[in-house]
Structure 1
Amino acid sequence: MTHRTLQVLRVRYLDGPNIWTYRPVIEAWVDIHDLEDAPSNLIPGLYERLTAWLPGLVEHRCGVGERGGFLERLREGTWAAHILEHVVIELHGMAGVPEGFGKARMTPERGIYKVAFRSRTEAIGRACLDAGLALLQAAIDDTAFDVEAAVSELRALVDKKAIGPSTACIVDAAYARRIPTVRLTGGNLIQMGYGVCQRRIWTAETDRTSAIAEGIASDKDLTKRLISACGIPVPAGEIVDSPAAAWSAAEDIGLPVVVKPSDANHGRGVSVALDSREAVEAAWAVAEAEGDDVLVEQFIAGHEHRLLVVGDRVVAACRGEEVSVVGDGVSTVEALIDSQINSDPRRGRDLTLPLDVIQLDRCPTVRLELERQALDCASVPAAGQRVLIQRHANYSADVTAQVHPEVAADAVLAVKVVGLDIAGVDVVCSAIDQPLRAQGGAVIAVNAGPGLLMHLKPTTGEVQPVGEAIVAHLFPEGDTGRVPVVGVSGAEGRAQIAHLVAWLLQSDGRYVGLACDDGLWMGGRQVTDRNGASWDAGRRVLMNRNVEAAVIENGPAVILDEGMPYDRCAVGVLTTAGEPSALAAWHIQDDTHLRNVWRTQVDLVLPSGAAVLNADDAMVAGLAELSDGAVWFYSTQAASPVLSAHLAAGGAAVWLDGDRIVVGRAETRQTIGLRSAPGIAALDPRWAIAGVAAALAAGLADDLVHAALDTYRAPERA
């Protein structure tokens, strides 16, 4: 054996439904060279090295269907490409973005395999592939590999490239509702839905979140004045411009007091329960460094609570806890913080964790708290001595079920007064299950863009379905966020059909987006020349907030190299299958492979939609069984046996009968147009009737289609 090196020949990110699965995948063509003659059971020590480096492989069921299934295959003998698939999937999980789908398939060329695995982010998928290749090669060659370092690099990339957990919970909730999502940037800006029906989110902010309301919420003093005017209890307070003014205000309000930036965020610069001039003036300096203005306000005794308001209801609530350490007579305060607080697995520096680590050099409020106890970071508390570290901003215990209806009503009113649609309302009170006024509680802040992690990862209590609540707020029950999408695939006639369907749809007064080989059209206006039959062009149509209906051409290159630009469609048109040899560059060898390509379009038809299939092409007609929705056949032969059987079973079809375009539904027949109409006469008759069938399947009325056919003119091709 002379060549045992894995070589990646090409990599494609299929960012949409494809021949492998409904969701985005990385597809790599991998040449395993002479390893074709060396399955895993013939490589000494390979099993032991892989299981030592990646113990989680035991959870991979593989084709066996049981825990340990892949390891059974590894012991018995499997090929390097299949092993690579599982290594890459495992690395995704170790990096914090678990993915469960993968496949490896032979091609007609010796030693060359196609390896596909799901990855929601292209950069992360490619990095996992690179790391997996290096790891597997080291295991085959019996050389060293630093798994910990590789996974650490992948985790750092995930922190940069993956959507945050708060955004992810909303995206997952949308997926559960079958609402399509599109990531618009490398960050957390997400489009949910298509065209005119779309909404946008940026973590817990939406396109309904007013910029004016955000500005109000960031000004704590203004917020209090506005919500107080509506009868909501708030602490007394005033803006001050110097340490002396802070103390004067504290005397007027009455000790103890709170000193904080007027635009306080995440608890930064906030000092509470201050009861001396020294503490107040020191706190003023800390707050002034964090914000524009400094606010001194009445201290409200009790627990901090964060209530998440979505729309017109409280959907989650957490209680904050004081954080302290207990001395052992040996360790410094700083060491105790690291061992007793920062060791909490819920704390960290990245956004996937609900609580921050406490770093004394970055937490002046903690240093002030220590000074009030005559301590500093180097002090060594006596054994058993409790040292208070933080009094606020540690929301951890879920109390959603305990919130009193009057407290919830106050929170919702506060959010409406500010003008937000989603907000975190900070409430301080002794008992969240009692009205605020009776216990001297108060609303102390309303926060735009609230964090969701505290509700997703509470220390005690129930995880709250906050993502589902936000999706329901944006898309009430029955709203799918979808506009009618007509996808046109097949070996021939795609652009001609797409143009006709777009014409018919816009004759109904709709703003139609069209992406086809001739270019990109928006509302009947051409905006690009040619190359419109691509993933990018299709996605551009669906991103346009004016689009009320979309017509998108998908040739074989889109399906095989890019993935479909939409997740599902209202109508899926399939013309002809062609020959496998036309797709030989993608290793399409026979009719089975070819059928797998074209079924991609039919698989995407919604249950409420329809597949429009060529009854005169046996392979295309045979895909009818795969449609989740209805089926419309079209044919140039009035006596087509496929049509006859379909109509007899109650189906619908369009066909040519001499010069007439006829539509049939079960027992009814109606002439809907003439082949001799000027615009239609220029079209291949197959594509004319296919376009008519697609328009009818999309819900256009027969008489409207009839009228629009008379005025159709095919665009001139450049």
Structure 2
Amino acid sequence: MRLSQVACYHGPNIWSKEPVLVCSLEMTPAYAAHFVTGAARLARAFPYWIDSSLLTAAGTPPGEIVARAVARWALGALIEVRGYLHEADARNGPGGATVWVGFHHPRLTGMALELAVNALALASSNENFSAELMKADLDDLWKHCSQLHPDYQARILMIASRRQDIPVQAFLSGTRYRQYGWGARSRVFRESMSNADGYLADDLTRNKPLSKSVFAALGMPTPRHVVVTDAAQLGDAASEIGYPCVVKPHNMGGGRGVTAGIRTAAQLQQAYQFARQVTAGPLMVEQFVPGDEHRLMVVGGKMVAAIRRESSAVVGDGKSTIAQLIDQLNADRPRNLNRSRYRLLIKIDDGLRGHLASQGADIDSVLAEGRRMVLRGTSNMSTGGVTVDVTDRVHPAVVSLAEQLALTVGLGTAGLDYLTSDISRSPLEGGGGFIEMNTVPGIDIPVAAGWTEEKIGSLVLGGIPGRIPVELCISPSLNLEAARQAMGEPQSGPTAAWVCGPELHIGALQLRLAEAAPWAALRGALRNKAVTSVRIAATVDEILAHGLPLDRFDRIVLAGVTFPERWQAVIEHAAISVDCRDFELHEGRPEK
């Protein structure tokens, strides 16, 4: 069995409507049945990746069954940790099959396909094949996916974009910046933070004491705090703040290094040392506010969600240790965040052990039947916390404070952390207070609380992202003047763009992109927020080599060219209208 690359299509093509890497999988008919057995073992070992029904479809040739198993396994491996891809299939042919799989980065999809072939070969020759045998290779692939694929917050936005027919592209290749929509109808996000959030807002949110100074300057309720830089200052800090108190790093998130509910000087020293494990910078000693932490999400000046965060807890059965009870909770939290609904694994670390010790227990303790024990003093999802939707219960005063705060600071998408024992009461009644604000609000939090990705993703994207008019002229050779003539009516104005090979024209401006990737100049035009329409000049050879440059066009003009039947169907499906025009070039100009 041999895998070899056939093509890398960056747009619609004869195999898929989306970008795909296409390979040939050569195998002799005599070995196809042998590999079908391996495909069945692959499906049993990776049931979430391969639908076993495809292995038993009536009338499907063995070679195609095997190729489809390879494609689906590769896709499953690519999106298990990070990513949002959909295309994976195969078609049988003479001497083997054609396999195609979607990509964010073609190189990673190529790696996944090679790994799939290796996994199939191993499964075919080993009747005791299991997922554990592929662990080392998969961990290596996932390391690359974690760096180059969209993260889970981007994935939520991409789900909403797909449902709303909003195009998505990388804003800067190799980074976490992604663009939703085209040109004048685009927004750029990094995770769930966008270019609607100002630099000042981001600066203020990164520094916890500075954030609290903002709360105080606006007269908003917030617990008192003192900043310390060494252990010698802890006594004075405790005298000023009082017990119980909280210790947290100055500028770190995710609950790292945080200890809450400190009641003695000894516990304060322990909390200080725990924080020092994650930072050498300043620490905050903060007044403890009883109650639960709530993430208030404000988008475009309006509060859209309030999610209560709670620490995970175990309930005793009279025979299992706390460590075993944690394992039982983690069994429902696979590495794949989609299947776990964004609930992360509960890790046994010093923070968890310390909180158990404060309750007179350790991980080897056996809890009496029915006894409930909270595992941490913090409720961050990154440390295994759980979430509850309380949006409909928030007191109007809390809503108003959150909206005013986001508006004043300049947060287009804000995640405000508010502590209270009762979110339905005003701060004056319930004694609540703001403790943090975030430009990346954690849009996975509502999903973990029961929201759909589409619902929260649509709210965060807002009403701006969408499509602008795009037209394509395909001619025998790249000639901008010929394309202009073939398109008929002129396209003019300072915000109208023309793309021809590496050249980009926006109004009277002429730009040239050095990037060698297919359709690089077009990507540059679509990134430009000043651009309101785009026309593209391309050749038949470019289309056949790279696929169509985009998934949809208002119009495609075929200027003196024809395509094979399957490609003609791709073109007609991608355009609202297709015009065929006969043109001949004479001294560099077209004649009709």
TM-score (norm 2): 0.83
Structure 2 match to 1:512: 497
1:130-180 deviation per Cα after TM superposition (whole angstroms, max 9, x unaligned): 233334456777888665433763465244243112101102212222221
Q: Does residue 238 of the first structure (1) align with residue 238 of the second (2)?
A: no
Corresponding residue for residue 294 of structure 2 = 305
1:604 maps onto 2:574 in alignment: yes
Deviations 1:493-525 (A, max 9, x none): 7644335579975643435242238x5545545
How far apart are 1:386 and its partner, in Å?
5.4
Contact 1:337 1:358 in 2 (8 A): no
Query: Residue 468 of structure 2 is aligned with which of 446, 461, 483?
Result: 483
Alpha-carbon displacement from aligned partner over 1:66-103 (angstroms, at most 9, x marks no partner): x9365133xx4515255313431244236526735524
Matches within 5 A, 1:296-695: 296-325=285-314, 335-336=323-324, 338-345=326-333, 354-360=342-348, 363-374=349-360, 380=365, 383=368, 387-392=373-378, 393=380, 394-458=385-449, 465-472=455-462, 475-476=463-464, 480=466, 482-491=467-476, 495-500=480-485, 507-516=492-501, 519-521=503-505, 523-524=507-508, 526-528=510-512, 534-578=518-562, 594-606=564-576, 610-614=577-581, 683-686=589-592
* Cα gap change, 1:560 to 1:140, in 2 (>3 Å): farther
Asked if 2 retains the 8 angstrom alpha-carbon contact of 1:60 and 1:70, the reply is no
Change (3 A) 1:71 1:417: same
CA separation of 1:173/1:189 partners in 2, compared to 1, >3 Å: closer, same or farther? Answer: same
Q: Secondary structure at the match of 2:227?
A: strand
Structure 1 residues 116 and 554, CA, compared in 2 at 3 Å: closer, same or farther?
farther
CA contact (8 A) 2:75 2:112 kept: yes
Superposed CA offset, 1:197-239 (max 9, x none):
3321111111122222112112222222222332322112222
Instruction: Please say if 1:12 is aligned against 2:3.
Output: no
CA 1:142–1:382: 2 relative to 1, 3 Å: closer
User: How far off its partner does 1:243 sit?
Assistant: 3.8
Counterpart CA distance in 2 for 1:566 and 1:389 is: 50
Identity of aligned residues (%): 24
Q: What SS class does the counterpart of residue 56 from structure 2 fall into?
A: helix
- Supply the distance in 2 between the matched residues of 1:150 and 1:396 (Cα, whole angstroms): 34
1:446, CA displacement in angstroms? 0.8
Corresponding position of 1:167: 154
User: Which residue does 1:133 correspond to in 2?
Assistant: 117
Q: How does 1:271-290 map to 2 (within 5 A)?
A: 271-288=259-276, 290=278
Alignment: residue pair count: 577
Distance 1:124 1:353 in 2: 25
Q: Which residue of 2 aligns with 1:179?
A: 166
CA RMSD of aligned residues (A): 4.0
Cα distance in 2 between the residues matched to 1:558 and 1:682: 20
- 2: distance between equivalents of 1:121 and 1:204? 21
Is the Cα contact below 8 Å between 1:174 and 1:181 reproduced in 2? yes
Which runs of 5 or more residues in structure 1 are unaligned? Answer: 1-5, 579-592, 617-634, 637-678, 687-718
Cα pair 2:247 2:285 within 8 Å, conserved: yes
CA distance in 1 between counterparts of 2:330 and 2:97 reads 47
Q: Which residues of 2 match residues 254-293 of structure 1 at below 5 A? A: 254-288=242-276, 290-291=278-279, 292-293=281-282
Counterpart residue type for residue 613 of structure 1: C
CA distance in 2, matches of 1:529, 1:216: 36
Instruction: Give the secondary structure class of the aligned counterpart of 1:178.
Output: coil
The answer to whether the 8 A contact 1:301-1:429 is kept is yes
Distance in 2, Cα, partners of 1:354 & 1:230: 34
Alpha-carbon distance between aligned partners in 2 of 1:558 and 1:513, rounded to the nearest angstrom: 17
* Contact 1:536–1:565 (Cα < 8 Å) also in 2: no
Contact 1:533–1:558, Cα closer than 8 Å, also in 2: no
2: CA distance, partners of 1:281 / 1:303 = 24
CA distance in 2, matches of 1:533, 1:225: 47
Give the distance between the partners of 2:587 and 2:337, measured in 1 at CA.
Answer: 67
Determine the C-alpha separation between the residues in 2 that align with 1:167 and 1:235.
33
Q: Aligned partner of 1:369: which letter?
A: H
Alpha carbons of 1:245 and 1:131: their partners in 2 closer, same or farther (altered >3 Å)? Answer: closer
Deviation readout 1:313-357 (Å, 9 max, x if unpaired): 222332222334466788766x34743554451679999874554
Q: Measured at CA, do residues 260 and 68 of structure 1 come closer, stay the same or move farther in structure 2, by a change above 3 Å?
A: closer
> Structure 1 pair 343/246, CA: closer, same or farther in 2 (3 Å)?
farther
Query: In structure 1, what is the Cα distance between the partners aligned to 2:16 and 2:179?
Result: 22
* Deviates further, 153-162 or 142-151: 142-151
Distance in 2, Cα, partners of 1:347 & 1:57: 13
Deviation at 1:449, TM superposition (A): 1.4
- SS at the partner of 1:169? helix
Kept in 2, the 8 Å contact 1:494–1:575? The answer is no
**Residue 514 and residue 232 in structure 1: after superposition, are their counterparts in 2 closer, same or farther (change >3 A)?**
same
Give yes or no for contact 2:39–2:124 (8 Å, CA) kept in 1.
no
CA contact (8 A) 2:25 2:67 kept: no
Q: Distance in 2 between the 1:324 and 1:211 partners?
A: 38
Q: Distance in 1 between matches of 2:26 and 2:367?
A: 65
**1:198 lines up with 2:104 in the alignment:** no
Separation in 1, partners of 2:358, 2:548:
62
SS at match of 2:220: coil
- Which residue of the partner structure matches residue 696 of structure 1? none
Q: How far apart are residue 492 of structure 1 and its match?
A: 6.0
| C-alpha deviation, 1:414, in angstroms | 2.3
Deviation at 1:487, TM superposition (A): 0.9
CA contact (8 A) 1:510 1:548 kept: yes
Distance 1:157 1:295, change over 3 A: same
Cα displacement (A) at 1:422: 1.3
Amino acid at match of 1:434: R
SS of 1:566 mapped into structure 2: coil
211 and 548 in structure 1: CA distance in 2 versus 1, 3 angstrom threshold? same
Deviations 1:455-479 (A, max 9, x none): 2223x6777721111112xx34xx6
Q: Which amino acid aligns with 1:468?
A: S
- Which one-letter code corresponds to 1:178 in the other structure? D
- Answer with 1 or 2: which has the greater Rg: 1
SS of equivalent residue, structure 1 residue 508: coil
| 2:67 aligned to which of 65, 72, 84 | 84
Would you say the 8 A contact 1:307–1:314 is kept in 2? yes
Q: Distance in 2 between matches of 1:77 and 1:21?
A: 20
For 2:525 and 2:547, locate their aligned partners in 1 and report how far apart those are by CA, in whole Å: 16
Are 2:264 and 1:250 equivalent residues in the alignment? no
Measure the CA separation in 2 of the matches of 1:214 and 1:268.
Answer: 20
Range moving further from structure 2, 52-61 or 364-373: 52-61
Alignment correspondent of 1:653: none
Q: Note closer, same or farther for the CA distance 1:600–1:488 as it changes in structure 2 (3 Å cut).
A: farther
Separation of aligned partners in 1, 2:159 and 2:216: 37
